Chain A
Amino acid sequence: MKKLLPVFGMVLLLVAVIFAAGCVGTGDDSGNQTATPTTSVPTATPDQLKIATTTSLYDTGLLDSVQDYYLDTYNVDLLITSQGTGKAIQSAKNGDVDVLLVHAPAQEAEFMDSGYGVNHRGVAYNYFVIVGPESDPAGIKNMTPEEGLTTLKNLGEAGDESIIFVSRGDNSGTHSAEKAIWAAAGLNYTAEVSGNPGSWYVETGSGMGDTLTVAGQKQAYTLTDEATFLTYKKNNNLQLVPIIDEGETLLNRYTIITINPEKFPNTNVVAATDFTNWLISADGQKFIGDYGKEVYGKSLFSPMVTLADSTLPPFNIDSTTAVTVPTVATA
Chain B
Amino acid sequence: MDDIINGVTEAIHLIITMDPEVMEIAQRSLTVSSEATLIAALIAIPLGAAIYYFTFRGKRVVIGTIQTLYALPTVLVGLLVYLLVSNSGPLGGLRFLYTTNAMVLAQVLLVIPIIAGLTIAGLSSLDKEMKYTIQSLNANAVQAIITLCREAKFAILSGVMLAFGRAIAEVGAVMMVGGNIRHFTRTLTTAISLNTSMGEFATSIALGIILLSIALIVNFAMNIIQNWHSGGQKDV
A-side interface residues toward B, CB under 8 Å?
2-4, 6-7, 9-10, 13-14, 17-18, 20-22, 24-27, 32, 35-38, 50, 55, 59, 61, 64, 67, 77, 79-83, 91, 93-97, 206-210, 212-213, 231-232, 235-238, 264, 266
6 A-B Cβ contacts within 8 A? Answer: A10-B225, A17-B31, A32-B183, A59-B197, A79-B181, A96-B87
B-side interface residues toward A, CB under 8 Å?
2, 20-21, 24, 27-28, 30-32, 34-35, 37-38, 86-89, 92, 95-102, 104, 150, 153, 157, 175-176, 179-185, 194, 196-201, 221, 225, 228-229, 232
Alpha-carbon gap, A95 to B97, bound state (A) = 10
B201 shortest CB reach to chain A, Å: 7
Q: Is the CB of A209 within 8 A of B196?
A: yes
Q: Is the CB of B24 within 8 A of A24?
A: yes
Q: Is the CB of B150 within 8 A of A3?
A: yes
- The chain B residue sitting closest to A33, CB to CB, is B183
Contact of B180 among A10, A35, A81 (CB under 8 A): A81
- The chain A residue sitting closest to B153, CB to CB, is A7
In the complex, number of A-B residue pairs with CB atoms less than 8 Å apart = 133
A18-B34 in contact given A64-B182, A67-B182 (Cβ < 8 Å):
yes
A96-B157 in contact given A37-B20, A80-B181, A236-B199 (Cβ < 8 Å):
no
Contacts of B150 in A (CB 8 A): 3-4
Contacts of B183 in A (CB 8 A): 32, 35-36, 67, 77
A210-B197 in contact given A27-B96, A35-B28, A79-B181 (Cβ < 8 Å):
yes
Alpha-carbon gap, A7 to B149, bound state (A) = 12
- The chain B residue sitting closest to A207, CB to CB, is B197
Q: Is the CB of A264 within 8 A of B87?
A: yes
Contacts of B86 in A (CB 8 A): 91, 94, 96
Q: Is the CB of A266 within 8 A of B95?
A: yes
B106 shortest CB reach to chain A, Å: 13
Alpha-carbon gap, A25 to B31, bound state (A) = 8
- The chain A residue sitting closest to B27, CB to CB, is A21
Contacts of A208 in B (CB 8 A): 197
Q: Is the CB of A231 within 8 A of B229?
A: no
Alpha-carbon gap, A10 to B228, bound state (A) = 13
Alpha-carbon gap, A95 to B98, bound state (A) = 12
Alpha-carbon gap, A241 to B77, bound state (A) = 40
Contacts of B185 in A (CB 8 A): 27
A96-B21 in contact given A21-B27, A231-B199 (Cβ < 8 Å):
no
Contacts of B104 in A (CB 8 A): 26
Q: Which of B20, B28, B92, B198 gathers most chain A CB within 10 Å?
A: B198
Contacts of A232 in B (CB 8 A): 198-199
Q: Is the CB of B34 within 8 A of A17?
A: yes
Alpha-carbon gap, A13 to B225, bound state (A) = 13
Alpha-carbon gap, A3 to B99, bound state (A) = 39
